[in-house]
Structure 1
């Protein structure tokens, strides 16, 4: 009798955990340690749940364990199915809306270079091929950013280079933003030092504003990863980034180290006043990190976001660069000015 009660209790606890791990934002737990990691890897969680379901299904052939293991199998299958449904709703690739060739458009490329592992020529070739107007390069120093800009200029597309480096100890402590002169003159308005109110805490974010006040504020993002000793800084980074998107005309791109699940509760849109381009384009189920996992199993932590005055016409996660050396996939979005 006691064994049955304990078995029932375990099944109930596992069921409760499955609910929390499926939709933690319903309980305000999406930014808590462990839970934040599991929800970030929904595709991988599906595979793990299915493997566990098979194991417990085999154990159910042992009659004394049958009721207990069947209960666990049902929970695991429901958990896997719910995550598949969420990922399917977010999409595995596609276009959001047909482009209006007569309207103003901006192409945004973001790529965390893992401390400049991809060569400048590789980055420039991709940016030129996609016709990028904005290039966000977390973990990229100013010298490499200038190399990319020179290569792009030689390819017929000159770029301004804006870099913030918290220090020169590690390349991850630099973020570089390239902006096409066609968008006008820009100046960096985020602080050189770390921490709010001037910047993200551990890794730098570049906020560039148009000098004449006309055009979008552009934000090249690098939030810290939610590792155990950085959880407070990670939450603070996301809060600060939401504040940067409180305006009416903002484009953000970079490594947020967060999925749309983690954005929940931080503004009227996905993050502040900004909507996620991947969600709009039906591509938010594709992982951008790490490159040693298929995109279907990875975590979508690299984003392009924009305020409502921009319409998303496309968003792509580029897995053909998985052998370039970076552990992140580049993402490219095309935005059309609404109206």
Structure 2
């Protein structure tokens, strides 16, 4: 008989290493959530990244499942708190609120034409199909204005206040079914052209529409982008009801945008349960983030919103069926 004696070999379990890694990942998620909760995004990296908060929430759920597998109580506890916080921040956008019970109908469409490249016929067909009363347009060029007219926009919306440009993103304008009067001095735009029009609704009432288009928060213009949103006019308590519509280049997760909402505005898409519907980009990738918005003050609200693709544009058009008191 031969007796074999083996010395015990100590092997570090894989799950122990996974548990330590899970804690590190959980701390990273906690830091990102704290940044979003505190509105601490700043600089060329964090400002764009905060746009992806809804996806950050999905990633946190995956990380939570991995923490359960790794049997790391600390990581599970941290990630549970993270997921609860992110759900509290994001999920209300997918839940429709109580629609306004009364008010004068106002059907509004906003679209960014991507330097005039958006298909004018598709835009006009949308205006006709949706029976639009007011059309807020960004990145309007002279050639795009001519194509819109040739496609029949002026027959549907005969009144306009437009500031087209030869090329690029600077041009913008507003078209309406009802008479328009341009307002000046309401605020000092920082960014592209942002005209303000007072729309005379039937019955003598009026509503104010601001075409919004600050610059994008690319590395060289983050400060200008923030100033462009911060200088937008706050929600008024008297005078004509005010609507802001356009490409804000900001999501509901940007602190400067939330401050604007805090003055008394409501995001129409979020109020109708479509606040997570992405509107940009439409090139090469599917749309990922929601940067096109319609905001109403306390005397107006949305009963329905819908996003539509515009061939040639990198943005989806946003339609809002509003009721204005």
Tell me if structure 1 keeps the 8 A contact 2:198–2:207. Answer: yes
User: Matched residues in 2 for 1:136 and 1:264: separation?
Assistant: 19
Among 184, 189, 201, which residue is 2:184 paired with?
Answer: 189
SS at match of 2:209: strand
Q: Which residue is 2:168 aligned to?
A: 171
Bigger-Rg structure (1/2): 2
Task: Give the RMSD, CA atoms, in angstroms.
Answer: 3.7
1:91 maps to: 94
Match of 2:305 in 1: 315
| 1:299 corresponds to which of 272, 289, 297 | 289
Q: Deviations over 1:248-307 (max 9, x none)?
A: 41111100011122245525xx15332111121111122111235556xx2111000111
Q: Distance in 2 between matches of 1:211 and 1:131?
A: 17
Cα separation, partners in 2 of 1:336 and 1:265, compared to 1, 3 Å: closer
Count matched residues: 302
> Is residue 34 from structure 1 mapped to residue 35 from structure 2 by the alignment?
no
Distance in 1 separating the partners of 2:172 and 2:198: 16
For residue 35 of structure 1, report the CA deviation from its aligned partner.
2.9
Q: Distance in 2 between matches of 1:188 and 1:152?
A: 26
Could you say what secondary structure the match of 1:229 adopts? Answer: coil
Secondary structure of 2:215 counterpart: coil
Deviation at 1:107, TM superposition (A): 0.8
- In 2, the alpha carbon distance for the partners of 1:13 and 1:240 equals 40
Aligned positions of 1:205-216 closer than 5 A = 205-209=194-198, 214-216=205-207
Unaligned segments of structure 1, at least 5 residues: 1-6, 61-65, 192-196
Aligned partner of residue 231 in structure 2, secondary structure: helix
**Alpha-carbon spacing, 1:293–1:190, altered in 2? closer, same or farther (3 Å):** farther
**Deviations, residues 123-154 of structure 1 (Å, cap 9, x unaligned):** 10011111111111111124423542453457
TM-score of the aligned structures, taking structure 1 as reference length: 0.74
Task: Answer yes or no: is the 8 Å Cα contact 1:30–1:261 preserved in 2.
Answer: no
Q: Distance in 2 between matches of 1:38 and 1:72?
A: 23
What is the distance in 2 between the residues matched to 1:150 and 1:55?
57
Conservation of the 8 A alpha-carbon contact between 2:25 and 2:63: no
1:77-156 superposed matches below 5 A? 79=82, 82-83=85-86, 86-91=89-94, 96-97=98-99, 103-149=103-149, 151-153=151-153
Mapping of residues 61-80 of structure 1, within 5 Å: 79=82
TM-score (norm 2): 0.76
> What residue in structure 2 maps to residue 160 of structure 1?
159
2:265 aligned residue: 274
